[in-house]
Amino acid sequence: MSGKIRFAPSPTGYLHEGHLLSALYVWAAAKKWNLKIHLRIEDHDQSRARPAYIAGIREDLAWLGFKYDSESIQSARGQVYEAALQKLKEKSLVYPCYCSRKQLLAENPQSETGEIVYQGKCFYKTREERRETREIINSAPHNLRFIVPDKFINWHDLRLGDFHENPKLQCGDFPIRDRDNQWTYQFAVCVDDIDEQITHIIRGEDIRNSTARQIALMEALGRTERPIYLHHPLIVDANNKKLSKRELAHSLRQDKEAGITPEMLFGRVCHKAHLTESDAPIALVDAISIIMETL
Ligand code: GLU
Ligand code: ZN
DSSP letter (8 states) at residue 151: S
Is 133's pLDDT higher than 70? yes
Locate the ligand 1 atom nearest the alpha carbon of residue 214 and give its number.
Answer: 9
pLDDT at residue 239 in the model? 74
Beta pairing class for 161-165 and 153-157: antiparallel
Give the N- to C-terminal CA distance of the chain in Å, as an integer.
15
Is 1's pLDDT higher than 60? no
pLDDT tens, residue by residue, 62-103? 999 999 999 999 999 999 999 999 999 999 999 999 999 999
Domains of the chain and CATH, by start: 3-79+188-292 (3.40.50.620), 80-154+163-185 (3.90.800.10)
26: exposed, middle or buried (Cβ count in 10 Å: 0-12, 13-18, 19+): buried
Cα(239) to ligand 1 centroid in Å equals 25
Cα(167) to ligand 1 centroid in Å equals 19
DSSP letter (8 states) at residue 144: E
Q: Tell me the best of 4, 5, 6, 10 to mutate to test the pocket of ligand 1, counting ligand atoms within 8 Å of each CB and taking the most.
A: 10
Q: How confident is residue 136, by pLDDT bands cut at 50, 70 and 90?
A: low
Per-residue pLDDT averaged across 3-19, rounded?
A: 96
Ligand closest to the CA atom of residue 143: 2
Cα(193) to ligand 2 centroid in Å equals 28
Specify the residue with its C-alpha closest to ligand 1, atom 4: 9
Per-residue pLDDT averaged across 139-159, rounded?
A: 95
Looking at per-residue pLDDT, the higher value among 208 and 139 belongs to: 208
Cα(10) to ligand 1 centroid in Å equals 7
Looking at per-residue pLDDT, the higher value among 292 and 126 belongs to: 292
Q: Tell me the best of 157, 207, 228, 242 to mutate to test the pocket of ligand 1, counting ligand atoms within 8 Å of each CB and taking the most.
A: 207
Is 130's pLDDT higher than 80? no
pLDDT tens, residue by residue, 26-45? 999 999 999 999 999 999 99
What ranges in the chain are assigned the alpha helix state H? 17-33, 51-64, 78-90, 101-107, 121-124, 127-132, 167-170, 185-195, 211-220, 245-249, 252-257, 262-272, 284-294
What is the side-by-side order of every strand in the sheet holding 94-97? 94-97, 143-146, 174-177
With a Cβ cut-off of 6 Å, ligand 1 is lined by 8-10, 42, 189, 203, 207
Specify the residue with its C-alpha closest to ligand 1, atom 3: 9
Locate the ligand 1 atom nearest the alpha carbon of residue 189 and give its number.
Answer: 9
Helix axes 78-90, 185-195, angle to 10 degrees: 100
Specify the residue with its C-alpha closest to ligand 1, atom 6: 8
- Residues 6 or more apart in contact with residue 116 via CB below 8 angstroms: 104, 105, 108, 109, 110, 171, 172
pLDDT tens, residue by residue, 207-226? 999 999 999 999 999 998 99
Locate the ligand 1 atom nearest the alpha carbon of residue 22 and give its number.
Answer: 8
